Structure 1
Amino acid sequence: MNRNIEFVELGQRDYKEIWEYQEKLFQGILDQKIANRREGTSKATKNHLLFVEHPHVYTLGKSGDMSHLLINEEQLGLKNATFYKINRGGDITYHGPGQIVGYPILDLENFFSDIHKYLRLLEETIILTLEEYGIIAGRSKGETGVWLDSDTPFARKICAMGVRASRWVTMHGFAFNVNTDLGYFDNIIPCGIKGKAVTSLNVELGVKEVPVEEVKQKIKKHFSALFEAELVPPTP
């Protein structure tokens, strides 16, 4: 089992460009697994973790409801936003500046064969990161992601999650609101859940801006500990 995860910081990049990049990495792992089974070999499969920030974009999962996008194409243009129907689970969400988006592209057979455990560990990564800022976060029953005050009328989501998996290989991932312009969530019914709010780390801390690089280091620390993995530079 290969527990090294190749980490890449991509900066701010177009959503479609990185979606295609994910697909390439995802397919590379699948191809190696298929080759191993066909040829009776055991060549190690790679694992990847991408951090990226996207320009304003709305994405709708394969089981999502188009009516949860509350603006039309012209209004999208006025807000300098784009829209994509994509192949992850979940409903509609928003990505934009001030948000840390993490895409783990892992062969889970290098770790464990349990997609539910995978999602819970992604959530726990963010929960532990928030704890370092004195924020108690948790889960909401039946709803993937990380929430604050989930069992109260003040429930609000701070990190959305949606993944795709095939042959135990994952793609897509999480979107953690750090310094995000929450006004963009007014144009959708986030994750298709009515009556619950969205928040960000800077809002919860009552500050104008949280140092994003500091947050990223905390996420990486908890991610590698929970997955019992080492984050390493990418190899050719």
Structure 2
Amino acid sequence: MSVLAVIPARYGSTRFPGKPLAKIASQMMIERVWRLSAAAEGVDRVVVATDDERILEAVQSFGGEAVMTDEHCRNGTERALDALKRLDSDAEIVINVQGDAPLIPPWVIGGVAEALRGDPALPMATPAVPLPPETEARMRGDKAKGSASGTTVVFGKDMNALYFSKNVIPFRRQPETGAPVYQHIGLYGYRRDTLEQLVALEPTPLELTESLEQLRALENGIPIRVVLTDYRGRSAWSVDAPEDAERVAEIIEREGELV
């Protein structure tokens, strides 16, 4: 099964215009994400899907592959499908890698590819990590103050997702007992026909309520396999604003490069 990793990368950003081209420890963020994706086991091809010639040229300058997509794509899922069509790719599996995740470990991407390769009946997969108690406590405190940062997931015995939420789920009646909390990592693997189906569906009530696009799949009965992973002591951080880029550079200086 051919696996295509697509990295959606828009130039426009309210908080951080030109974000994909921002330098982090002397390397553009989009180059970092491209190299991490290319290093993932089980990924056959990596392409950046963009709406801006500056990003296209930047990717080509470091030897990466990029494709121009429709500027009217509303989200990364639509841009991934648009890229797939424009490339005339025969890939059976598409992995949507967030372009603002320059610390995503290659083995996390590879784990999603492996799950879809290993089960041809699986329509969709996404990774999650267990939260240490101290991180869970901090997240619950942040959520109580109104933070929308971070998403959690609960899943059944079959490892298929039951629900994703911007709240910390499950709720604990007793602080020290109960099921673990798992943080969702915003990376998705789709069977080709599942990606086409999702883009064709209308937004759903829970999706709009939580602002979580993956809920559209669950509300329409499309199973999402949760792939448990481990950051192996590495820090996770996404880039939403210029100060986040500085934070990532500090992490790289302290922990070293992933590839």
Higher strand share: 1
Scaled by the length of structure 1, what TM-score is found?
Answer: 0.30
Q: TM-score if structure 2 supplies the norm length?
A: 0.28
